[in-house]
Structure 1
Amino acid sequence: MKVIEYSDEEADSFADDSYDPLFLVKGVEQSVDDMKEIANLRKKDVEMFVKLDSDLLAFGNSYNFNSFEMSSIVDAKKEAFDQIADVIPKYPDSDLYLIGSSKSGLGDLNLVIDLCWVIPDPVYLPSNYLGIAKKKLMDNLVCLKDDEVRAIKTRIPFLSFKVLVRGYCFSVNLSVNNTNAIYNTHLLYHYAKFDKRLAPLVKFLTYWGKKIGIINSFDGFLNRYTVTLMVVHYFQCGVSPPILPNLIFLYPEYFYGDGDVSELDYEVEFDGKVFEDRMGLTVEKNYAPLGDLLIGFFWYFKNFQFDSHGIYFKMACCGEKKTSDKFFIEDIYDDFSACRISSLDKLERIKSAFHQAASVLSAEPVLKNLLDMEKSIL
């Protein structure tokens, strides 16, 4: 985990004319023309675009679950969390945190529970604590399915196991002192709360990407977290006026990544009025409908210069790539790229999917046509 700090030169760059004076994000020039062109497409077939908007919103709200199932899954997740928290060892000031899309509100209502076990002033390595937790879980967790807890050795090691609660089988991932994930979750939670269009777009793109095979980190493609960051970046730099601000620079007291994770504030509100009062400027609201934003996302990334440019959240911009990553997208509280595309061939297949999706929706803005894209096209 790193604490985000800005040099004087970096801080001064936000005063440049290329940055939005209120949200402090640097837009891509082509985005203005793209959004105008998409708006013109809407004028030619208003009815179909309105249905595209409503289908996206409905998809984001339901994600193939009815209201009863949604409530049941949420309750079952809470019960699973409580049972796991009761079993893992207790250390001074240690605590268990729900992280990822289940907490940020940017994921589908899936059967995955991502957890971080925070142990202040640890004596042992995370892998040692995971070994202790593994034994406790296998000996005492009543809802453990298959009596198996696997230790996964990655850059950030974690335990992987399944629990059966209220008839739902949840896949659980438990890491230790992965505080950057807690800070990320907190930031993404506030972005989702800042603009309600973010969540349905992320949910749909996640579903679509998994369906056609470009979200599959085990095979060297994108992961769900990367796609979420791509949409956040697009909402900052790929639309005009911008939809999301640079909360990291504007509110360091909340988002620098140096505070006690137990004191992260999920209730504080950041909205247009707050920005107007703080900056003495009027917010130019972006009213682009969901359908326009979906098409714009595909246009933006089909033209993205992956070989030479990367995405930087600290500076809220697209800039020259400084690493050998196939696709560099800054992991906000880490020194690594959030994306691990394994080969140029995989990247080309991802770009091909974006190109085809842009063509499909530009020709006829029907969500079903996008969902009918098959893995075979890649």
Structure 2
Amino acid sequence: QGIACHDSDLDLCLVVDEQRNRTMTKQRILDSIGWVGHICSATAGLPRKELKIIKTSRVPIVKHSGARFPFDISFAFPGVVNSAWLRQYVHQDKAVVQPLVLCLTRWSRAVGINNNPDGFLSSYTMMLLCIFYLVRVGVLTPLAPTTANLPPIPEYPDSEYWEDTELCATRLGQLAVGFFGFFAVDFPSQLSVVSLRCPGELTKADKGWNMFPLAVEDPLEPHLNTCRNVSVERWDAIRTRFAAAAAGAPAALRAVWEAEEARPR
């Protein structure tokens, strides 16, 4: 979507007809992932110690952790379509969405709340929270969560980044303060669902998700709560970080952004 950090890994998807048509069985995916891992090691010459085949996750992957070009390979074609759909939000206002999502993602890692396996948020969830907030305050226009207007295999042209101006930085700081305050205090997380399908209109009762402290609906796979692993204690810790950041968001995000720019390419 044009919002990757310098140290983000590359998410790759192998597209086959049976997966695109949602007819690929779980066992077929597991067998294929094992085969892909073998090919990466035997043919591509990647060291086995840098490769890990993860079959127990919701989306089985081959993970390469090499320092030069870390990547994940999966057969998760819905993720390709989902990225293309979210990219439309980015292009509504790149001068806001790109830097805000990048800074919030980097900030969340720096303060220790971006660690999905440990019960915190994921970078994907941070993006959904950011877009949800920008829709709520009228910066972005809601999009219907449909793939009808997307090509069978979306193309990704080179991303153009925003022009870093003083006006852009001021606006970014104001929106960051609003974002932190909104999710620290204003958003009724005990009742509502963060949903790009129904922004501001969907409740936990509607979804049967009352057991989750934080509910963030995956826009194109709405049966999934991207925060299903977040406990009450973790959500309290996240909101505490949001509240603390609200007072000094512009300075905090500027420091994060300068650190990001200083990282070696």
Query: TM-score, normalised on structure 2?
Result: 0.78
| Residue from 108, 111, 126 that aligns with 2:29 | 126
Which residue in 1 is equivalent to 2:108? 209
| Residue from 218, 223, 230 that aligns with 1:342 | 230
**Mapping for residues 209-288 of structure 1, pairs under 5 Å:** 209-237=108-136, 239=137, 242-248=138-144, 253-254=148-149, 260=152, 262=153, 264=154
**Mapping for residues 79-158 of structure 1, pairs under 5 Å:** 104-121=1-18, 122=24, 125-144=28-47, 146=49, 148-158=51-61
SS of 1:150's partner is strand
CA separation of 1:209 and 1:111: change in aligned 2, threshold 3 A: closer
Alignment of 1:351 onto 2:239: yes
SS of 1:310's partner is coil
SS of 1:218's partner is helix
Letter of the structure 1 residue corresponding to residue 183 of structure 2: F
| CA distance in structure 2 between the partners assigned to 1:316 and 1:254 by the alignment | 21
Letter of the structure 2 residue corresponding to residue 195 of structure 1: D
RMSD (Å) for aligned C-alpha atoms = 2.4
Please tell me whether the aligned partners of residues 221 and 340 of structure 1 are also in contact (alpha carbons under 8 angstroms): no
**Mapping for residues 38-49 of structure 1, pairs under 5 Å:** none
| Residue from 349, 362, 366 that aligns with 2:251 | 366
Gaps of 5+ in 1: 1-103, 268-287, 372-378
Cα deviation per residue 1:227-266 (whole Å; 9 max; x = unaligned)? 00001001101x1xx12122226x76326xxx62x2x365
Please tell me whether the aligned partners of residues 311 and 318 of structure 1 are also in contact (alpha carbons under 8 angstroms): no
How many residues are aligned here?
231
Cα deviation per residue 1:271-322 (whole Å; 9 max; x = unaligned)? xxxxxxxxxxxxxxxxx81111111101111122211111121123353213
| CA distance in structure 1 between the partners assigned to 2:105 and 2:230 by the alignment | 19
The answer to which structure has the higher strand fraction is 1
Letter of the structure 2 residue corresponding to residue 346 of structure 1: R
Which residue in 2 is equivalent to 1:193? 91
Task: Indicate the larger mover: 189-198 or 144-153.
Answer: 144-153
| CA distance in structure 1 between the partners assigned to 2:254 and 2:147 by the alignment | 43
Give the drift of 1:348. Answer: 0.3
| Residue from 319, 324, 329 that aligns with 2:216 | 329
| CA distance in structure 2 between the partners assigned to 1:314 and 1:369 by the alignment | 32
| CA distance in structure 2 between the partners assigned to 1:208 and 1:190 by the alignment | 24
| Residue from 34, 47, 64 that aligns with 1:161 | 64
Please tell me whether the aligned partners of residues 233 and 313 of structure 1 are also in contact (alpha carbons under 8 angstroms): yes
Which residue in 1 is equivalent to 2:162? none
CA separation of 1:120 and 1:184: change in aligned 2, threshold 3 A: same
Please tell me whether the aligned partners of residues 214 and 230 of structure 2 are also in contact (alpha carbons under 8 angstroms): no
| CA distance in structure 1 between the partners assigned to 2:140 and 2:155 by the alignment | 19
Which ranges of 4 or more aligned residues in structure 1 deviate by more than 4 Å? 368-371
Please tell me whether the aligned partners of residues 222 and 339 of structure 1 are also in contact (alpha carbons under 8 angstroms): yes
Which residue in 1 is equivalent to 2:263? none
